[in-house]
Amino acid sequence: MADKHPYVQGPGALVQVVTHFRKSFPATVNASTLQKLGFAPKNESYVLNVLRFLGLIDHEGNRTAEATRTFNLHEDTAFKEAFAALVSKAYFDLFELHSEATWSLDNAALITFFRSQDETTALVGKLQASTFKVLAAYSGHGDIPVTKIPGAKAQKPAAKAVPKEVAPATPLASKSALSQGRSNNTSSVVGLTVRIEINLPADGDQETYDRIFKSIRENLLNG
C-alpha cells in the first residue's frame, strides 16, 4: 500500500486475528492462512499490512522473533506491556509528537495527524485512526471492540408461553323464574320450562272443565 500507516476496513477482523494469535500464532501468516481461519474475507491484505507494520511477520509472512516473545506471554499485563512497545515503535513518528499522551488522543487529533502525514482522504484517515485505537486497546489503553466469533449464531430468546384465556362456561340452562311469589323476592334461580298439553274431553260439561283447571292451579301453578 502507498499509505505509510496501515488500516483495516473495520475493527472486527483485526480483533479476531490478535485474539486468536494470542492462543495460537501460526509460523507463517498469509492470505491463505487468514482465509482458512475465516478472518477478514476479501480484506486479508489490509490485516497483513498491519501485522507487517508492527513487525509481527516479515515480508514473506514468517512470524518474527518479536511476535513469538510477545504472544507467548500468558499474563495479560505482561502481554499489554510488550505489545505496547511494538505499537509505539511502529508509530514512532506519532509518539515523537505526543509522547505518552498519544495513547489518549481522540479521533480528531489522530485523523489530523494521519491525513497530514500520509496525505490521505478523510475516510482513510478515519480508518487509520480506528486501527490505531484497536492496537492501543490491546496495549492496555482503551476497551477492545466487541466482535462476532466466526460461525457463532446469536441465540434467539425463548418465546414466553402466553396463557390461554379460558372461555366462560356456557350455562346448561337459562335462568328464569318459574313463578313470582307473593313476596318481592327477586333472587334468580335455575329453572326449567315445562310445556303441558291438555286434551279436554269433547263430551265434558262445564263442571268437568272447572275441575280440570282447578287441579292445574293447585298442583302445577301454585305448587
Query: For residue 77, is it within any domain?
Result: yes
pLDDT exceeds 80 at position 112: yes
Contact 43, 9 (CB under 8 A): yes
Whether 34 is covered by a domain: the verdict is: yes
Cβ-contact 90, 66 below 8 angstroms: no
| Residue 202: inside a domain | no
Q: pLDDT tens across 63-107, in order?
A: 999 999 999 999 999 999 999 999 999 999 999 999 999 999 999
- Amino acid at site 124: V
The label of the residue with cell 514473506 reads 60
Residue 89 lies in a domain: yes
125 close to 16: Cβ distance less than 8 angstroms = no
Beta carbons within 8 Å of 116's beta carbon, 6+ residues apart: none
Write down the pLDDT at residue 119.
94
Per-residue pLDDT tens over the stretch 178-222? 444 444 554 455 566 666 666 666 666 677 767 777 777 777 666
Residues 63/74, Cβ–Cβ less than 8 Å: no
Q: Secondary structure of the chain: what % helix, strand, coil (to 5)? A: 50, 5, 50
**Domain-embedded: residue 35:** yes
Give yes or no for a contact between 128 and 110, defined as CB atoms under 8 angstroms apart.
yes
In a domain, 150, yes or no: no
pTM value > 0.75: no
Residue 85 within any structural domain of the chain: yes
Evaluate if residue 36 carries a pLDDT over 90. Answer: yes
Q: What is the domain range of residue 61?
A: 11-138
Per the domain annotation, does 185 fall within a domain? no
Total of domains in the chain: 1
